[in-house]
């Protein structure tokens, strides 16, 4: 519990500083954009009259609309561009910055990708119920002790066992802030909160190698740009890990992500007592090889070779 609270506090601090970290990019973008103004003559005269008093009057004169839902931060197109570029570049360098990955996801998922995912939910009876009910996945809404009491082969027991094994809490998902459409904002929040269920369904761990494999699966299944960008973090992985991704987990991710049902339409709260193998078959998702076991065998092989060299073998 103490670890979870520390993680949640750290996540909150990172989230509140995201905008302040990236807003310095805005003046440069605004300077470039202002070279070819597209506003009317009256707007141009108004801009000229106040040029010396307000250096960025094009930006500051915009009337920001009211929030569409609690926590919503309306952004201009230029602000979204700055946040998308800054968060994308920084998160590539530091994949542990979950707040920046979340920002990149929100600023690049509209106007096409997230509405496409919402439409996929609207085409599914279960997806429509999820949009109507708007359930949330947290340690409060899920009865975690009850999940631990379920049989080993159930979805709920598989999920809680994965959380316990990886030391993960369902309470660390960043709230959506930058998506204007309130229903699409919920779809993004639902996707984030279901992410650990995808981990449990596939068995992939939270190490970078496992995250990249799962993001590749999600990209093939959801088309969200953030999931595709995450695959580029392969460049920071070890040669053996990249080899394993291209040879095993990359092909698995593409094959299963494309053929599987839309995983966003799973009402996880209603299938907790279901056999996890049966759910995998219904969705069309096959479990990949156990990544932690492969990494363990690799470490043992390295130790064996070092020991052999030490004995002069």
Summarised one tens digit per residue, pLDDT across range 163-222 is 999 999 999 888 999 999 999 999 999 999 999 999 999 999 999 899 999 999 999 999
Beta-carbon-side half-sphere exposure of residue 148 (alpha carbons within 13 Å) = 7
Q: Report the C-alpha gap between 201 and 221 in whole angstroms.
A: 14
Please count the other Cβ atoms lying within 10 Å of the Cβ belonging to residue 64: 10
Domain limits, the chain: 2-291
Residues of the binding site for Zn(2+): 195-196, 199, 211
Do 161 and 203 meet the contact criterion of CB atoms below 8 Å apart? Answer: no
CA atoms within 13 A on the CB side of 76: 15
pLDDT of residue 53: 41
Report whether pLDDT(44) > 50: no
DSSP state of 265: G
As given in the structure block, the two tokens for residue 46 are 């108004």
Task: Render pLDDT for 14-40 as a digit per residue (tens, 0 to 9).
Answer: 444 444 544 454 444 333 333 333 333
Do the Cβ atoms of 253 and 166 come closer than 8 Å?
Answer: no
- CA–CA distance, 116 with 55 (Å, rounded to integer): 39
The torsion of the CA quartet 279, 210, 158, 257, rounded to 10 degrees, works out to -10
List the binding residues.
195-196, 199, 211
Q: Are 101 and 174 in contact (CB under 8 A)?
A: no
Mean pLDDT of 267-272: 97
What are the tens digits of pLDDT across the range 73-112? Answer: 999 889 899 989 988 888 777 767 778 888 999 999 988 9
- Structure confidence at residue 261 as a pLDDT band (50, 70, 90): very high
- Chain mean position to CA 194: 10
Say whether pLDDT at 50 is over 90.
Answer: no
Terminal CA-CA length for the chain: 48
Task: Report pLDDT digits (tens) over 130-143.
Answer: 999 999 999 999 99
């Amino acid at each position: 519990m103490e670890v979870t609270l520390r993680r949640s506090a750290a996540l909150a601090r990172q989230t509140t500083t995201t905008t302040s970290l990236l807003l310095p990019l805005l003046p440069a973008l605004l300077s470039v954009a202002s070279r070819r103004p597209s506003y009317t003559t009256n707007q141009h005269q108004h801009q000229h009259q106040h040029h010396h008093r307000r250096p960025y009057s094009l930006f500051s004169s915009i009337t920001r609309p009211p929030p569409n839902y609690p926590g919503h931060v309306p952004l201009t197109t230029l602000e979204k561009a700055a946040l998308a570029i800054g968060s994308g570049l920084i998160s590539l360098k530091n994949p542990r910055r979950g707040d920046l990955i979340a920002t990149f996801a929100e600023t690049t998922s509209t106007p096409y990708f997230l509405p496409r995912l919402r439409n996929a939910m609207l085409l599914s009876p279960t997806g429509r119920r999820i949009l109507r009910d708007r359930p949330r996945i947290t340690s409060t809404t899920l009865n975690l002790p009850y999940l631990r009491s379920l049989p080993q082969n159930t979805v709920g027991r598989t999920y809680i066992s994965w959380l316990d094994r990886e030391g993960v809490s369902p309470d660390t998902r960043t709230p959506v802030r930058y998506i204007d459409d309130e229903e699409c904002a919920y779809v993004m929040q639902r996707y984030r909160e279901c992410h650990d269920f995808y981990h449990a369904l596939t068995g992939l761990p939270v190490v970078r190698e496992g995250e990249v494999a799962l993001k590749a699966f999600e990209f093939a299944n959801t088309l969200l740009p953030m999931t595709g960008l995450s695959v580029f973090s392969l460049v920071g992985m070890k040669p053996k890990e990249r080899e394993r991704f291209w040879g095993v987990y990359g092909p698995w991710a593409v094959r299963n992500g494309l053929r599987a049902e839309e995983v966003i339409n799973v009402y996880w709260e209603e299938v907790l007592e279901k056999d996890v193998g049966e759910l995998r078959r219904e969705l069309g998702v096959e479990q990949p090889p156990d990544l932690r076991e492969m990494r363990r065998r690799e470490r043992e092989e390295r130790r064996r070779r070092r020991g052999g060299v030490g004995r002069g073998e």
